[in-house]
Chain A
Amino acid sequence: MTQLWALAVVAIVVLIAACLEAFRSRRARKRALGAVAAPAADPYILYFTGDGCTVCRTHQEPALAKLGAVRIDRVDAIADRTLADRFHVYTLPTTVVMSPEGRALHVNYGYATAPKLERQLAEARGSAIQAATA
C-alpha cells in the first residue's frame, strides 16, 4: 500500500512538472518571438549551446548538419548572456529561426529535429518572399 501511495505521489509530481514546463516554454516563446538580431540575406538559425550541453553534441548538431547550406550562428549561451536573455533561453539547446530582417520567427526550446527546422526555414523563406513581393 505504501508503494502505491508513493507511485501516486510521483505521478502527480511528474504531471505538475510537465505542466509547468509546458507553461514556461509557451511563455518564453511568446516573449522571444519578434526579438531581433543581425539581418542577413536569407533566413538563418541562431543556435544557443554551451560546453556542458551533451544533447547539443549528440542530437542537435547532427540535426543542424542535415540542413545543408543554411547559415547557423552558434552562440555560447553562458558567454553571450545578453543575447541568450533576449531570446529567453532557459534550456540548452535552443534554436531560433530568424527572418532575413533579423526577427525571430520560430523558437525551439530543447532539441529540435531536422524536419522541424526545415519546415520552419521553409515558412521563413515563404514569408520573406511574400514581404518582398508585397
Chain B
Amino acid sequence: MATQVVDHSALKVNQTGIVATVLVAFVGSAFYRPALLLIPLLAIVLLLGTFAPQLALFKQLYFKVLKPAGIVKPQPVQDRPEPHNFAQGLGGVFLAVSSFFLYVASPAYGPTLLVIGLAIALLVAVLAFINLAFGYCLGCQIYYQLGKAGVIRAS
C-alpha cells in the first residue's frame, strides 16, 4: 500500500486534546463528579473521528483554526494514516470501556469499578502522552503485529 503525506501536527494536536481532556476529567472529578462525563464524550469524538475523519474534533480544530492562524506549524511526513487511525480507534474503544465502568458497572457493583474505569481512561492519556512526547505509538505497533499475523492487511 502506498504512503501519502500525513500532517503529524494534526496527530499531535489530537494527542494533546486526548491528554488534556482526560486530565481535566480526572482532576475535575475529584471536585465535581459530572466532569467525568468528558470521558464518554471523548470516546464518541475518537470513534467518530476514526470512521469519519471530517468529524475528528481535534484534527478539525487544527485544520480549521490552529493551522490557518499559524499557531501550530504543519509537519508533513510521508506516512500511512491507517495505523494512526487504528490507534485512535483503539483509544476510543478503551475510553468506551472506561465509560461503561464509570457509568454502568460502578453504580451497580461498587466503587472498585469506578477506580478501574478511571485507570483505563488514565492509561489512554498516558499512551497518548508517550506518543506525543517520544513518538512511540502502541496502537501502531499492535497494527503492525496484526498485519504480521495476517489479521489485517498492513502493507
Residues of A within 8 A of B (CB): 2-3, 5-7, 9-10, 13-14, 50-55, 57-59, 76-79, 81, 84, 90-92, 110-111
Contact = CB atoms under 8 A, between A and B. Distances in A.
Given A2-B111, A58-B77, A76-B155, A13 B144 contact: no
B126 to A, nearest CB: 6
Interface string B123-152: 100100000000111001101110110000
B118 A54 contact: no
A77 to B, nearest CB: 7
Judged by DSSP, the binding face of A is helix
Interface of B: 1-3, 6, 8, 26-27, 29-30, 77-80, 82-84, 111, 114-116, 118-119, 122-123, 126, 135-137, 140-141, 143-145, 147-148, 154-155
Contacts of B2: 51
26 contacts: A2-B30, A2-B115, A3-B26, A3-B30, A5-B115, A6-B118, A10-B119, A10-B126, A13-B119, A14-B126, A51-B3, A52-B80, A52-B82, A52-B140, A52-B143, A53-B140, A53-B144, A54-B79, A54-B137, A76-B155, A77-B148, A78-B147, A84-B148, A90-B145, A92-B141, A110-B136
Contacts of B141: 91-92
Judged by DSSP, the binding face of B is helix
Contact of B144 (A10, A79, A92): A92
A52 B118 contact: no
Given A3-B26, A3-B30, A52-B154, A57 B122 contact: no
A79 B155 contact: yes
Given A10-B122, A57-B77, A91-B144, 6 more contacts: A2-B111, A13-B123, A14-B123, A52-B83, A52-B140, A84-B148
B79 A57 contact: yes
